[in-house]
Structure formats: C-alpha cells, structure tokens
Amino acid sequence: MSDTPVNVTVTGAAGQIGYALLFRIASGQLLGADTKVKLRLLEIPQAVRAAEGTALELQDGAFPLLAGVDVFDDPKAAFSGANVALLVGARPRTKGMERGDLLEANGGIFKPQGEAINSGAADDIRVLVVGNPANTNALIAQRNAPDVPAERFTAMTRLDHNRAVAQLSAKLGVPVSEISKVTIWGNHSATQYPDLIHAEVAGKNAAETVGDQQWIADEFIPRVAKRGAEIIEVRGASSAASAASAAIDHVYDWVNGTPEGDWTSAAIVSDGSYGVPAGLISSFPVVSRNGRWEIVQGLEIDDFSRSRIDASVAELAEERTAVERLGLI
C-alpha cells in the first residue's frame, strides 16, 4: 500500500449523490483496497455546514483508507492538488424537465471549475462529470482547462450502461455477469442509443438471443433512455445511490482497467471515431488500458444504429452551439 494518499475532490458533497458516494470512496471502492484517499469536498456556502456534517460522519466511519476530509466553498482551493475530481454538484431536474433545460443554470458552475482544475489540479488529474447535462458540462470544464490533456475530462454514461445491462438481464432471466459488450452511444439524455447489436449473453449475440427487434426498439431502448425520468416519477427525486455506484464503476475501471473480453461505456472527447465530430464529449464503447480510455474500434454500424447515433450526436452539437452562444466555451 502506498502511503501517499490520492486527493479526490467531490463537488456537491452535501447533495444526495454525494451522500451515497463519499462513504464508498472512503471504504476504498473508488480506487482499490490498497489506495489511501484524502477527500476534498466542495459546496456552495449555504451547504458548507451540511458538508461539514457529512465530514464528521466520515470520521465516525473510522475508515482505514481515509487519510482526511477537508471542506471548501472555493473551487480553486478544492481542486488544488486534486488527482481525481468528481463533478457532481449541479441542480438536478425535477418532474417535466429535460436535462437540456439545465444547460444555462448549470453551465455557469462548470466554467469556473474548469478554470480551477486548469490552474491547480495535479498533473495526473482525471475528471468525471456527473452533474447534468453531463456531456456538455464536461465540455465546458474541458474547454476552460486548456493546459490539461482533453482526454482527462469524461462524463458519466455508466449509469445508462448499467441500466441497459440490468434490463437485458431481467428480460432474458440471466445474471448480469453473463452480459458483455453493451454500448451506450451519444448523449446522457433521452436521445442516447443503448446498443445491443454487438452485445453478448454468455458469449452469444444478445440481439439474436432476444430475437425480438420490436422489444429492442419499442421497449428496451426507451426504457433505458428514459429511466432517469422513471426514477424521478416513482421515487420523487432523481437517481442517487445508483448514480453514485456508476461513478464508482467509471473511475475504478479508468484507473484499474476494464476486464479482458468486455467493454463499457463512457462519454469521452471524440477523436472523430464512428463519425462523431472530433471534440464533442460523446458516449462510446470503451476499454481502459494503462490508465487511459480507448474507443473500441472496428464495430460495424448498421442503418438502425447509424440513425440513432446521429440523432444523439446532433443534440450534442446543438448543446455545444448553445454554450458557445452563452460564452461558456
């Protein structure tokens, strides 16, 4: 075990995802059981007291891997020396809103945070944006951090990925552990494309095993893409523990690598692969090797998939134009 703790900055630390996330980080699930962590919590001034309360509870957990907790209301201080940054703090949507409705409200948060990461984070900084609209918030942060390699900025579509795996598992009555190579393409929004065409169930093609294209098109895809709204409707608040769990999965895989023979989904800066314009932060099938995400190459994209991917990517391009007009990038 290394004695030098990894600095993990979490924004929105007093929020519902923060509460579900921090204890899992402290217990070693974000980086691994051999890695000590130091938590740096960022909140707005009105919520600092609540974050301090969470810090007291973290202390009460007596976590062997937790080397300390500090609470900040200043992004520059919070990101100083950060090795991992989880950008969760943002306004969640409520019933009837689309995630894009949050662009202006939340865009203003991610520009100063990108600037603070640029000026003070550690050289190996890795950023995961969870706060919605996650892809475009990540783009705002990345574009305001010109000295940080663009590949270090990612947005979370792992929750969508996990939802897709779980829906397929329920449909076929197989354990999630038998499902591999599911892909989420595009935006973390209702236009996302959960793709089963290359997915496998116990080594066999998933779409063929389902054998019901109508279920895939009319039930599976909308169920996964609109699951966030379903949770808001049923729970009365947006997904929290499942979102925290997906954030843990994303960073753990990024740092420790994805298993051989499988891939996962993450929104990363496009290099132009699969016709996604370079520079957009879009979800792809990815593996992590040597601490870096790589887009899985060479997948055949049929007409059905092409039109779905294009629609979601068009939405990302529109969001980029909107934040350009707002002067955020």
Ligand X SMILES: NC(=O)C1=CN([C@@H]2O[C@H](COP(=O)(O)OP(=O)(O)OC[C@H]3O[C@@H](n4cnc5c(N)ncnc54)[C@H](O)[C@@H]3O)[C@@H](O)[C@H]2O)C=CC1
Ligand Y SMILES: O=C([O-])CC(=O)C(=O)O
Q: Should residue 313 be labelled a site residue for ligand X when binding is judged by CB under 6 A?
A: no
Using rule CB under 6 A, residue 238 touches ligand Y: yes
Residue 167 binds ligand Y, judged by CB under 6 A: no
> Which residue in the set 32, 33, 44, 219 belongs to the binding site for ligand X (CB under 6 A)?
44
User: How many other C-beta atoms lie within 10 A of the C-beta of residue 69?
Assistant: 22
- SS3 category, 3: strand
Q: Which does 231 bind (CB under 5 to 8 A by kind): ligand Y, ligand X, none?
A: ligand Y
Active site residue 188: yes
Could you tell me the smallest distance in angstroms from the CB atom of residue 320 to ligand X? 18
Between 17 and 251, name the residue whose CB sits nearer to ligand Y: 17
Full DSSP string of 56-76: HHHHHTT-TTEEEEEEES-HH
Query: Which of residues 58 and 129 has its CB atom nearest to ligand Y in the complex?
Result: 129
Q: Find which of ligand X, ligand Y, none residue 216 binds, CB within 5 to 8 Å per kind.
A: none
Cα distances from 165 to residues 21, 171, 200, 274, in angstroms, run: 21, 10, 10, 22
Compute how many other C-beta atoms are within 10 angstroms of the C-beta atom of residue 36. 18
Residues in region 222-261 near ligand X by CB under 6 A: 238-240, 243
- Least distance CB 74 / ligand Y (angstroms): 27
* Pick 75 or 228: Cβ nearer ligand Y: 228
Given ligand X, ligand Y, none, residue 44, with its beta carbon under 5 to 8 Å by kind, binds: ligand X
Q: Is 236 exposed, middle or buried (0-12, 13-18, 19+ CB in 10 A)?
A: exposed
Q: Where are the alpha helices (DSSP H) in 179-288?
A: 206-210, 213-215, 221-225, 227-235, 241-256
Indicate whether 92 belongs to the interface with ligand X (CB under 6 A): yes
In the region spanning residues 101 to 160, those forming contacts with ligand Y, defined by CB under 6 A, are 132, 159
Please say which residue, 49 or 306, places its beta carbon nearer to ligand X. 49
The closest alpha carbon to 291, from 40, 6, 3, belongs to 6
Secondary structure (3-state) at 249: helix
Binding site members: 12-18, 93, 99, 106, 113, 130-132, 163
Binding site members for substrate: 93, 99, 132, 163
